Amino acid sequence: MSPGSNEMQTNATAVQKDDSQLRQKRMIAEHFKRLGRSPETGEKNVYTFVPGNLTELLLSFDLVPVLPEINALQSGMRGKSKEYIATAEKLGHSEDVCTYVKCDLGMMKSGNVGPTGEHMPDPNLLLLSYTGCFTFLKWFEILKQEYDCPVAMLHVPYQGDGEVTESARDYVVQQLKTDIIPKLEQISGRAYDEDKLKEHLARSAQAEDDLVWVLESAKNRPSPIDAYFGGIYYLGPIFSSFRGTQDAVEYYKSLRSEVDARLDAGLGPVTPDGQIDDERFRIVVEGPPNWTHFREFWKMFADEGAVVVASTYTKVGGVYDNGFRHDPDRPLETLAEYCMGCYTNLNLPSRVDMLSRYIREYNADGLLINSIKSCNSFSAGQLMILREVEKRTGKPGGFVESDLVDPRYFSAANIKNRLESYFQMIEQKRMGGAA
């Protein structure tokens, strides 16, 4: 999920962006324009979600993906989420409901104008690929009540034992064959074309190779990227609607070249307020960011010289650095394995293993958790994760709290104080080690 094309700018200070950020901004803006033109062009769309999305399969039927979470986070960055959430709560949705859901519903009830100002088309199909987040089920139940369109559900088994089993993979493949593909054929009026799917999968693998290289560049000191705030921009095309396209291949090729140049020059990451020249802290972050105060949140890190060298949120659309690549030689099997391997479908021990590995491999100073009030999929078990990673790595953990797109739960003073205390604790631990 990515900030994409409509970052809210309330500060008059000029925002600095890499060329890659500007390029992905144009890509995503054009995608929303394409959606806005769909009533005239006749293109059909499918509403689906980021974790476990079947983008390559949709593209093989010439169907356009629409991702409600992307719409919600974009609304948060544009300062619209507060009013959308209020609209949903007036309709009876609880304060404790995921704010992505309430923001999306509020947007729909307020004219369904998307992030770039174009009217969002009604879905031709609601496609739920269930990957560990129970809220997605309820979200689509609500959307089904609002839209008169077919629904398809791909049930993805949870990785309870920390591995993708052959029987679980076959179970997902069978659903693709008997439930999902026939529904896509019906909606699109096209027959399933496996060769076309393979072409998209090959492009995905190529883009994924370059993306992993970019993310792993943060193992260098100084890191040329911020793998949380900056990383969210980098993930925009592959998390939204471009995985499997030539545009994605070209974007990640260009991004890799850009980061490689920064690496050769020994440069730190670019933030909205300038480059970090003094990398004082290397942090691993667990949990989504806050979108309503994204720039302010990032600045709290940058002002302290804190660079996020690895994060779990940038893995919700695929844990590619674990070695997974979409495989065109096994088209349906690889889609099944992708769905089951998304971060939200991993059990807690697997998440602890991943975070501990990040601390070691990226030579990080500690783990920081941003606990999201309305996101149980991420927040459940985070304190256990924090303590276990501390025990395994010997590195200190920190904990802040906010929300996805509800500005009522972003306390700048409280978060800033906690971050400053956390960075002071890291310094004290360093001094103790030196002594």
In a domain, 271, yes or no: yes
Provide, rounded to the nearest whole percent, the portion of the chain with pLDDT above 90: 75
Tally of helices (H runs) and strands (E runs) in the chain: 17, 10
Going by C-alpha positions, the residue among 49, 58, 187 that lies closest to residue 125 is 187
Packed helices 348-361 and 382-393: angle between N→C axes, nearest 10 degrees = 40
pLDDT(379) > 90: no
In a domain, 133, yes or no: yes
Confidence of residue 344 (pLDDT cuts 50, 70, 90): confident
What's the mean per-residue pLDDT of the chain? 92
pLDDT(434) > 60: no
305, 280 Cβ separation under 8 angstroms: yes
pLDDT(250) > 70: yes
In a domain, 222, yes or no: yes
State CA 306 to chain mean position distance. Answer: 21
Provide the 3-class DSSP secondary structure of residue 377. helix
Mean pLDDT over 159-181 rounds to 94
The pTM of the full predicted model, rounded to 2 decimals, is 0.92
**Tens of pLDDT along 78-102?**
899 999 999 999 999 998 889 999 9
In a domain, 324, yes or no: yes
| Cross-strand bridge partners of residue 65 | 46
Going by C-alpha positions, the residue among 348, 54, 356 that lies closest to residue 184 is 54
Number of domains composing the chain: 1
Range of the domain at 428: 19-434
In a domain, 9, yes or no: no
Give residues with Cβ within 8 angstroms of 74, minimum separation 6.
3, 4, 5, 6, 114, 115
Query: Strand ranges (DSSP E) for 292-332?
Result: 306-311
In a domain, 182, yes or no: yes
At residue 117, the pLDDT reads 86
Confidence of residue 197 (pLDDT cuts 50, 70, 90): very high
Confidence of residue 433 (pLDDT cuts 50, 70, 90): low
Give residues with Cβ within 8 angstroms of 103, minimum separation 6.
71, 72, 75, 76, 80, 81, 84, 85, 88, 405
Query: Strand ranges (DSSP E) for 381-424?
Result: 397-402
Mean pLDDT over 56-77 rounds to 94
End-to-end CA distance of the chain: 43
Confidence of residue 137 (pLDDT cuts 50, 70, 90): confident
Provide the 3-class DSSP secondary structure of residue 54. coil
In a domain, 13, yes or no: no
At residue 189, the pLDDT reads 97
Provide, rounded to the nearest whole percent, the portion of the chain with pLDDT above 70: 95
Going by C-alpha positions, the residue among 254, 245, 314, 303 that lies closest to residue 274 is 303
Output 131 or 388, whichever has higher pLDDT: 388
In a domain, 7, yes or no: no
**Tens of pLDDT along 327-343?**
999 999 999 999 999 99
Alpha-carbon torsion, ordered 193, 195, 201, 202, to 10 deg: -160
At residue 6, the pLDDT reads 43
